[in-house]
Amino acid sequence: MAFELPKLGYEYAALEPHIDARTMEIHYTKHHQAYINNLNNAIAGTDMENRTLAELMTGVSKLPVAVRNNGGGHFNHTLFWTVMTPNGGGLPKGDLLDAINRYFGSFDKFKEQFSNAGMTRFGSGWAWLIKAGDDLKITSTPNQDNPLMDLAETKGTPILGVDVWEHAYYLKYQNRRNEYLAAFWNVVNWEEAGRRFK
Amino acid sequence: MPFELPKLSYAPDALQPYISKQTIDFHYGKHHQAYVNNLNNLIPGTRFEQATLDQIIKEADGGIFNNGAQIWNHTFYFESFSPAGPREPSGQLATAIANSFGSFGNFKEQFTKSSVTLFGSGWAWLVRKPDGSLEIVQEPNAGNPLRNGMVPILTCDVWEHAYYLDYQNRRPDYLQAFWNILDWEIISKRF
Ligand SMILES: [Fe+2]
Ligand SMILES: [Fe+2]
């Protein structure tokens, strides 16, 4: 089964002014689509075609680098679109908020550490909030790696992720990654993050 | 002496339409400047306080390496361009390129491919190896081939910030434009 571009749950302009429509359209229709096309090419005619995306991720250290890069790209962007919403922002709820308070001291301290993980990722990559056993952790990965990958330095289940490749913010924020990361909090879909935490 | 942003030898709009003034304003004025500022903030009190960029590239790690190498790389990159220079190599470098790659056309094709396929942020390089031969290498992020004992001749910045305002996801279009602004008189002097 070839992988396909998942439907976006909102319009390209829906996250304005925090993420502009042009960035959304290029990011989704060009970048994400290219990862999917390249992934499909990399697995065509092999037994990798019978594996789920999650299975490819957890065994990626033994697979071709094109699967790591493009499978990661597909997984990460698929997650990214769902953890944002036009009605986002505010505070997480219930168990997730409790866990964040417990592990990071407060929601503000969590935000600060997560933003810092995004700011200090040199080059292209992602910052993550993950569940690792009973722990919540903040981590970051280079390029299109993610914490599900068996080769990740810090492994776990992604709860929230933010893309800090320059293509995610350059048209609107240029060199100001800090402003993009500040704006991200206005569109975070905490309901979705909460589901991923369960 | 703190490090300083070197002057550009051309106006910020001089490379249009291949690279826009807006891109130069951010790339040179913000990114390159930030690497200079960051390095100057990082080195006081370390063993690199009096170091040259070459020493930093060969010996440092972490933030000092990243920012030091990015200063060197961007200086080298911006220096390769001019609004009106010879767009093909001549003399010894032309001969060396023909010997190593078959022809200038083949070299362009291979260098373009190396630049387009570098995954993530980084730099494609034409280098002279210790045995005198030429090679094309990819370096991720701030990577610089001086660290591996090679002599850089030409580089292309493929961080997305180098082309995103002008070409967005179309890195191959940026590479096509790149060949129209290289000044091979300047590049030949490095060989
Ligand atoms: Fe992305
Ligand atoms: Fe750059």
pLDDT value, residue B40: 98
The verdict on a CB contact (< 8 Å) between B141 and A123 is: yes
ipTM, 2 dp: 0.96
The answer on B62 and B128 residing in a single domain is: no
Per-residue pLDDT tens digits of chain B, which is 191 residues long: 699 999 999 999 999 999 999 999 999 999 999 999 999 999 999 999 999 999 999 999 999 999 999 999 999 999 999 999 999 999 999 999 999 999 999 999 999 999 999 999 999 999 999 999 999 999 999 999 999 999 999 999 999 999 999 999 999 999 999 999 999 999 999 99
∠ CA A180-A183-A185, rounded to 5°: 120
**Integer Cα distance of B166 and B21 in angstroms:** 10
Q: Name every chain A residue with its beta carbon within 8 A of the beta carbon of B138.
A: none
pLDDT value, residue B52: 98
The number of C-beta contacts closer than 8 angstroms across A and B is 53
The answer on B183 and B95 residing in a single domain is: yes
pLDDT value, residue A134: 86
In a domain, B10, yes or no: no
Q: Partners of A122 in the beta sheet?
A: none
The answer on B117 and B54 residing in a single domain is: no
> Which H or E run contains A160?
strand A157-163
In a domain, B4, yes or no: no
Find the domain containing B114 and state its range. 91-188
The answer on B123 and B183 residing in a single domain is: yes
> Which H or E run contains B69?
helix B62-79
When scoring B31, B121, B163 by the number of chain A Cβ atoms within 10 A, the one with the most, hence best to mutate, is B121
CATH of the domain at B53: 1.10.287.990
Domain boundary among B78, B113, B146: B78
* Proportion of chain B above pLDDT 90, given as a percent: 99
Q: Is the whole-model pTM more than 0.90?
A: yes
The backbone torsions φ and ψ at residue A51, rounded to the nearest 5 degrees and listed phi first, read -100, 155
The answer on B128 and B70 residing in a single domain is: no
In a domain, B56, yes or no: yes
Give B39 Cα–ligand 1 centroid separation in angstroms: 28
Query: How do residues A123-153 score in pLDDT, each as one tens digit?
Result: 999 999 999 998 999 999 999 999 999 999 9
Give me A127's structure tokens. 């910052």
In a domain, B155, yes or no: yes
The answer on B55 and B26 residing in a single domain is: yes
Which residues, chain by chain, have CB under 5 Å from ion ligand 2? B 157, 159, 162
∠ CA A76-A77-A83, rounded to 5°: 90
Name which of A133, A132, A136 is nearest A156 in CA terms.
A132
Give me A47's structure tokens. 């037994």
pLDDT value, residue B1: 67
Q: How many CA atoms lie within 13 A of A131 on its CB side?
A: 14
pLDDT value, residue A163: 99
Strands A125-132 and A135-142: antiparallel
The answer on B73 and B96 residing in a single domain is: no
Number of structural domains (chain B) is 2
* Proportion of chain A above pLDDT 90, given as a percent: 98
Q: Radius of gyration over alpha carbons of chain B, in Å?
A: 16
A122: nearest CB among B26, B30, B66: B66
**Integer Cα distance of B28 and B9 in angstroms:** 12
pLDDT value, residue B42: 98
3-state secondary structure A37-81: HHHHHHHCCCHHHHCCHHHHHHCHHHCCHHHHHHHHHHHHHHHHH
B26: nearest CB among A124, A142, A175: A175
The answer on B108 and B181 residing in a single domain is: yes
DSSP state of A188: B
In a domain, B13, yes or no: no
> Is the pLDDT score of A1 beyond 90?
no
The answer on B116 and B44 residing in a single domain is: no
E strand segments, B21-168: 122-128, 134-140, 151-157
Q: Which residue has the tokens 């505070």?
A: A91
Query: How do residues A56-74 score in pLDDT, each as one tens digit?
Result: 999 999 999 999 999 999 9
By 3-state DSSP, what share of chain B in percent is helix, strand and coil, each rounded to 5? Answer: 50, 10, 40
Query: How do residues A40-57 score in pLDDT, each as one tens digit?
Result: 999 999 999 999 999 999
Does the CB of A133 have a partner CB in chain B at under 8 Å?
no
pLDDT value, residue A186: 98
In a domain, B181, yes or no: yes
Helices (runs of H) and strands (runs of E) counted in chain A: 9, 3
The answer on B106 and B143 residing in a single domain is: yes
The verdict on a CB contact (< 8 Å) between A124 and B168 is: no
In a domain, B83, yes or no: no
Q: Tell me if A6 sits within 8 A of A170, measured CB to CB.
A: no
The answer on B183 and B102 residing in a single domain is: yes
Rounded to the nearest angstrom, the minimum Cα separation between B191 and chain A is 29
